[in-house]
Amino acid sequence: MLNSFIFVVMPYAALALLIFVTPYRFCSNRLTWSAYSTQFLERDTLFWGINPWHYGILPVLAAHFLGVVFPAPMKAFLGNQNNLIIFESISLALGLFALFGCVLLLLRRVNTPILKKVTFAADWVLLYLLAAQALSGVYVATFMRWGSQWYLHTAVPYLWSLMTFNPQIEYVADFPLVFKLHAAGAFLIVALLPFTKLVHLLYMPFRFLMDPPILYRWRSK
Ligand code: HEM
């Protein structure tokens, strides 16, 4: 029952929300289609949070996707013991880096009174969820060793079975609860994406790169 909910209901519900709510938000409330900046309210902790978070989580997610898109070359690559050890060590370091950044971003909001006024329920839910996701990922990587290898033989065929609308949950049904929570967290994040500032993931700021620099003038006290 729990397995069917996590591995069948959750992913398809998340996909449906992503597909139908995202265009609605884009058309109805385009001004919120980004992560609005709080840099002018607090910038020191932001720097130490946002950089580790993005530089950690993006390569980790890219590694998740590489396994799904190129399972055969990844199996061949990670079949070599040295490659596997190097790949796992780098992934773990990046996962810890992301976790550190995310916790700092959370503490920043908790400890800065002025930020609390511009932090809404959806922002809190998202930040806690991302921190829990990074924590469960690091837990799996640490205590269920060689995850990058067994992921290719279990989670990847399961994810492919989802994409072909023939969910085969036997691949993942017997995993420990922490892995199931990690998968459930991922589906929840996708489901919440169109309702939160995480929607900025879909916004490619190419034009922004061509904009002239903004000149800030600070009012002296
Ligand atoms: C929003 C989506 C997701 C995020 C943000 C995320 C995040 C993470 C993080 C931060 C790590 C730790 C990396 C490391 O220390 O090696 C990790 C590891 C892992 N994740 Fe995810 N994950 C997501 C989705 C998924 C999904 C859908 C699955 C499978 C169904 C999955 C399976 C794994 C596995 C097996 C590991 C361990 C890899 C290893 O041992 O190197 N993740 N994830």
Q: Tens of pLDDT along 168-212?
A: 999 999 999 999 999 999 999 999 999 998 888 887 666 666 666
Which whole number is the average pLDDT over 21-45?
Answer: 80
Q: Does 80 lie in the same domain as 8?
A: no
Q: Does the pLDDT value for residue 165 go beyond 80?
A: yes
The span from the CA of 133 to the CA of 127, in Å, is 10
What percent of the chain is predicted at pLDDT more than 70? 90
CATH code for the domain of 113: 1.20.950.20
Q: Does 102 lie in the same domain as 17?
A: no
Q: Does 114 lie in the same domain as 147?
A: yes
Does any ligand 1 atom lie closer than 6 A to the CB of residue 137? yes
Q: Does 135 lie in the same domain as 49?
A: yes
Q: 210 lies in a domain?
A: no
Which whole number is the average pLDDT over 4-16?
Answer: 98
Q: Which residue's alpha carbon is at the smallest distance from atom 1 of ligand 1?
A: 186
Confidence (pLDDT) at 210: 67
Tally the domains of the chain: 2
Mean pLDDT in the chain?
Answer: 92
Determine the residue type at 30: R
Domain that holds residue 85: 41-153
Ligand 1 atom nearest residue 144's Cα: 40
Confidence (pLDDT) at 205: 61
Q: Does 52 lie in the same domain as 140?
A: yes
Confidence (pLDDT) at 209: 62
Does any ligand 1 atom lie closer than 6 A to the CB of residue 155? yes
Three-class DSSP category at 73: helix
| pTM of the model as a whole | 0.90
Q: 172 lies in a domain?
A: yes
Q: Which residue has the higher pLDDT, 130 or 216?
A: 130
Q: Does 178 lie in the same domain as 145?
A: no
Q: 220 lies in a domain?
A: no
Q: Does 175 lie in the same domain as 113?
A: no
Query: What 8-state DSSP symbol labels residue 5?
Result: I
Q: Does 90 lie in the same domain as 22?
A: no
Q: 178 lies in a domain?
A: yes
Q: Which residue's alpha carbon is at the smallest distance from atom 17 of ligand 1?
A: 137
Report the phi/psi class of residue 165: left, alpha or beta, with left for phi > 0 and alpha for psi in -120 to 50: left
Q: Does 88 lie in the same domain as 192?
A: no
Q: Give me ligand 1 centre to Cα 85, in Å.
A: 17
Confidence (pLDDT) at 152: 98
Q: Give me ligand 1 centre to Cα 35, in Å.
A: 23
The span from the CA of 26 to the CA of 12, in Å, is 21
Q: 217 lies in a domain?
A: no
Q: Does 149 lie in the same domain as 46?
A: yes
Does any ligand 1 atom lie closer than 6 A to the CB of residue 68? no
